[in-house]
């Protein structure tokens, strides 16, 4: 018997990859890496009413973009495929029939109208709305007659209605749930497709999953799943239910209150490294309580035992800070590649690669996300456009002295260097008596279009001598 750890990420192709789903995928991935196990991707696409065209491709592309590599799954294969549940329906039919034979499940012929009427009556009586089990009482003859007539049906779990079930969760330790609060779950729908509850139990067993790491919202479904494991005589995997992701107001993170799709964050210019680091800390912390982790370091440090029970607040300010850190610290060439699409979209032509790298090096120290890079870099591509307040500063006597002084002296400098620019700044103070903001504001405004911006050597080095002289000449009164 193999002791290999096997975990799975099993999303439904219903659109975008939610940040909460990314955390689930990441924790599964990290646990597999930490233990030398396998990380499996399985597509749970049995709910045909929620299926969205292109969602699977989008999911696979997002996982690749973010840097989470799975060991088995779509496009890769493995020993336990197929990895699309829609291609495994015969397997589920076999096991649902076995449950009926064992009296662990039953046929339910109730129509949608009957179920709706039942629900309304229960609500009117002030009781929880759930299936009342009326089809449990059907005789074998009634069932055979209904089947012979082709009457539509679903297959439901035949759950206990007394006592409680106790199980252990890695995060929550002992959990007890009364059976009377658990609905007779539908296992096979009227269209012949299984629900999540049957399919995931069967697949987790057949794919030899050892640990189930998933969101807290599935905790209440554990009794339904353990009932199935027991009915089949299978050993269940260990359970680990992750805390909710919360908005700052402590409500559940949802699209109604802003972006929650990984694709949206990537499109805005958040780096994969920052997203993974940030998401890893939403409910988990290391022994040292550090905040900055590469994926490789997370693989070494991660532990299921250090996952919190309480909900984790999605703090966008912290994500911005973290993304800014990675923008400044990661290799310049890598950041320049990530930034290039934003320049193309803005219509900024990159003619000189060395100049482009210099622009990125300056800009990345002034932004939090890459989508801000073109606004910061625009003055290097487009000549300044001055408002009335700018023009007042430009036309001041001291400003004009500065511009003329710099224009005449810069013409004589053969090679622009940090030393040459700093020397000219010093001479401006010594020979013109202009210093501080009276020196820096007018010059930066003329060359960069704003009184705030990068250091002068960087501005002039990027613009080049000719463009710098041109911009100075533009602001000198003729």
The CATH number of the domain where 209 resides is what? 3.40.50.620
Kindly report the CATH number assigned to the domain that includes residue 434.
1.10.10.350
State how far the Cα of 193 lies from the Cα of 157, in Å rounded to an integer: 15
Q: Of 242, 267, 294, which one is at a domain's C-terminal end? A: 242
Strand partners, 8: 40
437-448 vs 456-475: helix crossing angle, rounded to 10: 80
Question: Do 410 and 456 contact (CB within 8 A), yes or no?
Answer: no
State how far the Cα of 320 lies from the Cα of 278, in Å rounded to an integer: 10
Mean pLDDT of 295-313: 95
Nearest Cα residue to 361 out of 334, 382, 323: 334
Q: Of 313, 340, 365, which one is at a domain's C-terminal end? A: 313
Asked if the structure places residue 229 within a domain, the reply is yes
2: pLDDT strictly greater than 80 = no
Mean pLDDT of 59-86: 94
Residues 153 and 222 in one domain: yes
427: pLDDT strictly greater than 50 = yes
Give the pairing of strands 164-169 and 173-178: antiparallel
Q: Which residue is listed with tokens 């001291």?
A: 398
User: Over the range 334-370, which residues count as b (16 or more CB within 10 Å of their CB) and which as e?
Assistant: ebbebbbebbeeeebeeeeeeebbbbbbbbbebbbbb
Catalytic residue list:
255
Asked if the structure places residue 174 within a domain, the reply is yes
Give whole-number Cα distances, 89 to 11, 202, 363, in Å. 17, 11, 53
Please report, to the nearest 10 degrees, the dihedral formed by the alpha carbons of residues 66, 68, 74, 79 taken in order: 180
257: pLDDT strictly greater than 60 = no
State how far the Cα of 460 lies from the Cα of 220, in Å rounded to an integer: 63
Structurally, how many domains does the chain consist of? 4
Residues 14 and 28 in one domain: yes
Mean pLDDT of 116-133: 91
Asked if the structure places residue 420 within a domain, the reply is yes
Question: Do 279 and 242 contact (CB within 8 A), yes or no?
Answer: no
81: pLDDT strictly greater than 90 = yes
Question: Do 460 and 358 contact (CB within 8 A), yes or no?
Answer: no
Residues 214 and 256 in one domain: no
Mean pLDDT of 437-444: 95
Residues 308 and 393 in one domain: no
State how far the Cα of 58 lies from the Cα of 347, in Å rounded to an integer: 27
Asked if the structure places residue 395 within a domain, the reply is yes
Asked if the structure places residue 272 within a domain, the reply is yes
Q: Which residue is listed with tokens 């007018």?
A: 442
Kindly report the CATH number assigned to the domain that includes residue 354.
1.10.8
216: pLDDT strictly greater than 70 = yes
Asked if the structure places residue 455 within a domain, the reply is yes
SS3 state of residue 144: helix
- The rounded radius of gyration (Å) of the Cα atoms in the chain is 32
Q: Of 194, 226, 242, which one is at a domain's C-terminal end? A: 242
Residues 116 and 101 in one domain: yes
Q: What DSSP string describes 241-262? A: EEPPEE-TTSSBP-GGGS--BH
Angle at 17 between CA 16 and CA 22, to 5 degrees: 170
The pLDDT mean for the chain works out to 94
State how far the Cα of 319 lies from the Cα of 326, in Å rounded to an integer: 11
145: pLDDT strictly greater than 60 = yes
Nearest Cα residue to 202 out of 329, 90, 341: 90
Residues 184 and 300 in one domain: no
Residues 374 and 405 in one domain: no
Asked if the structure places residue 321 within a domain, the reply is no
Residues 108 and 204 in one domain: yes
Mean pLDDT of 233-248: 95
478: pLDDT strictly greater than 80 = no
Residues 73 and 92 in one domain: no
Q: Which residues contact 242 (CB under 8 A, 6 or more apart)?
A: 23, 24, 27, 171, 213, 214, 215, 216, 283, 307
The two structure tokens encoding residue 182: 């658990």
Residues 120 and 142 in one domain: yes
Residues 118 and 207 in one domain: yes
Residues 351 and 458 in one domain: no
1: pLDDT strictly greater than 50 = no
SS3 state of residue 307: strand
The predicted structure's pLDDT at residue 255: 57
Give the pairing of strands 312-313 and 245-246: parallel
What are the two backbone dihedrals, phi and then psi, of residue 289, each rounded to the nearest 5 degrees? 60, 30
55: pLDDT strictly greater than 60 = yes
Mean pLDDT of 257-282: 91
Query: The domain containing residue 375 runs over which residues?
Result: 331-380
Asked if the structure places residue 326 within a domain, the reply is no
343: pLDDT strictly greater than 80 = yes
């Amino acid at each position: 018997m193999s002791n290999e750890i096997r975990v799975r990420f099993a999303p439904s192709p219903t659109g975008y990859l939610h940040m909460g789903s990314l955390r689930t995928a990441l924790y599964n991935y990290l646990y597999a890496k930490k233990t030398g196990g396998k990380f499996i991707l399985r597509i749970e696409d049995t709910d045909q009413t929620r299926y969205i065209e292109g969602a699977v491709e989008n999911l696979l592309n997002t996982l690749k973009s973010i840097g989470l590599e799975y060991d088995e799954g779509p496009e890769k294969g493995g020993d336990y495929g197929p990895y699309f549940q829609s291609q495994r329906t015969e397997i589920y039919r076999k096991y649902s029939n076995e449950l009926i034979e064992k009296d662990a499940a039953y046929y339910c012929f109730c129509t949608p109208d009957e179920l709706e009427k039942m629900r309304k009556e229960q609500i009117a009586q002030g009781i929880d709305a759930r299936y009342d089990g009326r089809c449990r009482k059907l005789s074998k003859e009634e069932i055979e007659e209904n089947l012979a007539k082709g009457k539509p049906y679903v297959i439901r779990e035949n759950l206990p209605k007394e006592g409680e079930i106790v199980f252990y969760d890695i995060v929550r330790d002992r959990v007890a749930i009364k059976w009377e609060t658990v609905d007779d779950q539908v296992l096979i729908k009227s269209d012949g497709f299984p629900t999540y509850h049957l399919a995931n139990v069967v697949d987790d067993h057949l794919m030899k999953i050892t640990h189930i790491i998933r969101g807290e919202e599935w905790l209440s479904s554990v009794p339904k799943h353990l009932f199935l494991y027991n009915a089949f005589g299978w050993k269940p995997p260990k359970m680990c239910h992750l805390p909710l992701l919360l908005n700052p107001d402590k409500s559940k993170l949802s699209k109604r209150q802003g972006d929650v799709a990984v694709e949206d964050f990537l499109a805005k210019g958040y780096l994969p490294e920052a997203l993974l680091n940030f998401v890893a800390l939403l409910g988990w912390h290391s022994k040292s309580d550090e905040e900055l982790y590469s994926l490789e370091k997370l693989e070494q440090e991660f532990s299921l035992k250090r996952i919190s029970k309480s909900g984790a607040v999605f703090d966008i300010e912290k994500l911005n800070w973290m993304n800014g850190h990675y923008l400044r610290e990661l290799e310049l060439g890598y950041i320049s590649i990530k930034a290039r699409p934003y320049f193309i979209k803005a219509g900024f032509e990159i003619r000189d690669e060395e100049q482009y790298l210099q622009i990125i090096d300056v800009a990345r120290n002034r932004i939090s996300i890459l989508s801000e890079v073109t606004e910061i870099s625009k003055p290097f591509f487009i000549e300044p456009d001055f408002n009335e307040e700018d023009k007042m500063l430009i036309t001041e006597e001291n400003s004009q002295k500065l511009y003329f002084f710099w224009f005449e002296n810069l013409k004589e400098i053969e090679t622009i260097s940090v030393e040459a620019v700093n020397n000219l700044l010093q001479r401006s103070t010594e020979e013109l008596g202009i210093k501080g903001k009276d020196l820096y504001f007018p010059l930066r405004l003329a060359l960069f279009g704003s009184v705030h911006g990068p250091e002068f050597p960087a501005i002039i080095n990027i613009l080049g001598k000719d463009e710098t002289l041109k911009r100075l000449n533009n602001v000198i009164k003729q």
